[in-house]
Amino acid sequence: MHVPLILLTLATIGPICAAFTSDNYTSLITFLLSDYDTRVLPQADLGLPVRVYFSFTLGMIQSFNDLTGQLDFLGNFITRWTDKRIRWNPDRWGGIEELVLPKMNVWHPEMIMPSSLNRHNIPGASGTKVRFNYNGTAQYYSHDLLSVSCSLDVSRYPNDIQRCDIFVYPEMYNRKELIITHMSDSRKKLVENNEWEVQSSSQIHEADEFQIIFNLSRRTGYIMITLKAPIQLLGLLNPWVFFLPPDSGERVSLSITAFLSFTVYMGVLTDHIPRASKPIPNVLYEVFINLIYSTAILLCTILSLRLHMHSNEKPVPTWLQRLYRILTCKCFSRKRSSKTEPQPREKEGELYASVSNIRLRRLSSQFVLQQIRQLQRHVDLDGVVEKLSKAEERIPEVTWCKIGYLFDFFCLIMFYILYFTVLIVYEFGSY
């Protein structure tokens, strides 16, 4: 009575125990691949297209060369499809429900990536095994390091955002034979890059293509501290040359130093920006304008020194005196003095005119003494000199030194207006 029970137990446990042996795997693989042809599409009805599910997850941006446009990234690809020829009954083969086969021994969708820099560097290249379920569902996973070429737009450097479009196509299959469908992947493990930040990573699929879109923004902290901030500080300090005393001898040296600094930064920028970039980055225009701005300051500094060092023996031209009085709002002082001052006698008038002419023309002191001795016999010189002193208080004397200081003041205001205009236009335009 116990013998039939023992035989029944062995018949039940036998297939289960056999599932853990390699013989069943070997026999199953031999059975499935005996008449298998990798050149034939896996669907039962060749008139229907094979539906391939494709998924991509960005793992890491390894590097992005903004001079050449080469993007190196690590991506996780999952590909899934159904192969009608790889099916079996688990009960017949010891309860085996999944099987791993070499990718080269079964049909699998081969992909191409036109923007790849290496023809062997394609999605799925690192995957070597395909996992099959007993119902024919196939899936393989690949972890690929890919290098692609992206178009660059550095017009807003260093606040630029680069978009890279990567297209993936099935090799030698049209939409009547193969259809690509996107499937979501819950694994989202992204390793941050120190230079670039991934704003978004999305996928778009059509019947015969799969598109991967990256939006990368540059981390600007390092560039702002080492490049942008020194350029702006140089532009801010450059007009301060007009505050230096004219006789210090430091005006021209400071202007030349600022000019050479802008030249150096122009060379540094050309090493970080592609030469064939179109359009040209705004930061290059900004530095170029600062270079012209520094050149104009250098020329105005030389002209200002010429005004300060001009000899007072040569009188200031009348038109320049009028311009000085207009700009300093003292153009009506002469008219007020002529109304309030009493008319001198005839001889005093002659002396008054003579001495005034002497004072305005800034002649030598010896000539002044000669004129005073000749006229001292006829009039009271002390009264005339007192009247002239009062007149001088009302009518300011225009000298070359005053013209120079007025020129410095207007250069300072003009160049700061120009600097802040350029700063506002290009800084707000770069965002």
DSSP characters over 116-159: BSSTT--TTSS--EEEEETTSEEEEEEEEEEEEE-----TTTTS
Question: What are the tens digits of pLDDT across the range 344-401?
Answer: 444 445 544 554 554 444 445 555 556 666 665 555 555 655 655 555 555 457 888 8
Edge-to-edge, what's the strand order for the sheet holding 196-205? 111-112, 161-170, 210-218, 196-205
The answer to whether position 23 is within a domain reads yes
Looking at 188, 219, 250, the residue that finishes a domain is: 219
Q: Are residues 389 and 277 in the same domain?
A: no
Domain interval for residue 297: 222-310+411-429
Residues 291 and 420 reside in one and the same domain: yes
Q: What is the pTM of this model?
A: 0.64
Q: CA-to-CA distance for 289 and 293, rounded, in angstroms?
A: 6
3 state SS of 36: coil
Q: pLDDT tier at 22 (50, 70, 90 boundaries)? A: confident
Q: What is the mean pLDDT of residues 111-139?
A: 83
The dihedrals phi and psi of 92, each to the nearest 5 degrees, come to: -75, -25
d(CA 330, CA 308): 21
The answer to whether position 406 is within a domain reads no
- What are the tens digits of pLDDT across the range 56-103? 888 888 888 888 888 888 888 888 999 988 999 988 888 888 989 988
Question: Ranked by mean pLDDT, which of 94-103, 173-182, 196-205, 326-335 comes out on top?
Answer: 94-103
Looking at the chain, the whole-number percentage of residues with pLDDT higher than 70 is 76
Beta-carbon contacts of residue 272 (< 8 Å; ≥ 6 apart): 66, 67, 157
Number of domains in the chain: 3
104 in a structural domain:
yes
- Cα–Cα distance measured from residue 244 to residue 61, given in angstroms and rounded to the nearest whole number: 51
| Contact between 136 and 82 (Cβ < 8 Å) | yes
Greater pLDDT, 45 or 69:
69
Q: What percent of the chain has pLDDT over 90?
A: 8
Same domain, yes or no: 95 and 241: no
Same domain, residue pair 28 and 77: yes
Q: How far apart, in whole angstroms, are the C-alpha atoms of residue 283 and residue 277? A: 13
The per-residue pLDDT for 352 is 47
> What does the buried/exposed string (b/e) look like for 183-198 if buried means 16 or more CB atoms within 10 Å of the residue's CB?
eeeeeeeeeebeebeb
CATH classification of the domain holding 181: 2.70.170.10
pLDDT of residue 270: 82
Do residues 209 and 70 both lie within one domain? yes
Q: Are residues 69 and 205 in the same domain?
A: yes
Same domain for 284 and 362? no
Q: For 205-221, how does the pLDDT look when each residue is reduced to its tens digit (9 = 90+)?
A: 776 788 888 899 888 88
Amino acid making up residue 214: F
The average pLDDT across 285-295 equals 89
207 and 288, same domain (yes or no): no
The rounded radius of gyration (Å) of the Cα atoms in the chain is: 45
